[in-house]
Amino acid sequence: MRVLGISGSPHHRGNTELLLTEALKGAASKGAEVETIFLSQLNIAPCQHCDACFEAGKCRINDDMQMVYRELKAADRIILASPIHFMGVTAQAKAMIDRCQALWARKYKLNLPPLGNLRPRKGLFISVGGRSVDNLFEPTLATVKALFSSLDIEYSGKLVFSGIDDKGAITKHTDALKKAYLAGQKLVED
C-alpha cells in the first residue's frame, strides 16, 4: 500500500503541511509506504490546452509534472492537501490539477486507464481556510471531486478546518492533528 501526499501550500510547515504530515504518519502506522510531494518546490507549468495529449496520451511539457504523473501511477491512496486561496485550491495545486488533463484525455479520448493501470485507488482531501463561513470548501471540493473522478480515484472523504489563518494555527485547534492521524489510518484500512 503506497500513499502519496500532495501539498499545495506555499507554506513550509504551515497548517496544510502539518495536517498532511499527521495523516501520512497515521497511514505509515498501518504499514503503508508514504511519499510526499511539495508542489511549491516544483516547476509545474499551467496546461496550455494544446490538445497534444488527446493523441499522445501524455503531456508534451517536460517539467516536474512528469514526476508527479509517475507518483500518481504508483500510488494506491492519494491525499491532496491545499489551503483555500480565493475560494479554490492554491495556484500550485491548480497547475498540477490542470496538467492532469493528459490523464483525462487518456480516459475520455483514448479509452485507456487514466493512470495506466486498473489498481483501485482512493483519495482524501485535506484543507484549511482562514475564514469561518458556510460552504467555504464547497467550490474546492467540486474541483477535487472532478479530479478524482477523472483519474478513477474513489473519493473517500475530506478533512477540513475553517477559521484557521495564522501560520501554524492548526496546532492550537483541539483535535485537528489527531483527526488527521486517524484519517490517514482510515484511508489505508478502507
Ligand X SMILES: Cc1cc2nc3c(=O)[nH]c(=O)nc-3n(C[C@H](O)[C@H](O)[C@H](O)COP(=O)(O)O)c2cc1C
List residues near ligand X by CB under 6 A.
9, 11, 14-16, 83-87, 128-131, 136, 164-165, 167
Give the nearer residue to ligand X in terms of CB position, either 33 or 166: 166
What is the rounded radius of gyration, in angstroms, for the C-alpha atoms of the chain?
Answer: 16
Q: Least distance to ligand X from the beta carbon of 28, Å?
A: 21
Q: Least distance to ligand X from the beta carbon of 13, Å?
A: 8
Give the nearer residue to ligand X in terms of CB position, either 39 or 84: 84
Buried b (16+ CB within 10 A) or exposed e, 44-82: beebeeeeebeeebebebeebbeebbebbbebbbbbbbb
Give the nearer residue to ligand X in terms of CB position, either 85 or 99: 85
Q: Least distance to ligand X from the beta carbon of 54, Å?
A: 33
Contacts made by residues 176-181, CB under 8 angstroms, sequence distance 24+: 176/19, 177/18, 177/19, 177/22, 178/22, 180/18, 180/19, 180/20, 180/22, 180/23, 180/26, 180/126, 181/22, 181/23, 181/25, 181/26, 181/29
Give the nearer residue to ligand X in terms of CB position, either 16 or 150: 16
Q: Least distance to ligand X from the beta carbon of 10, Å?
A: 6
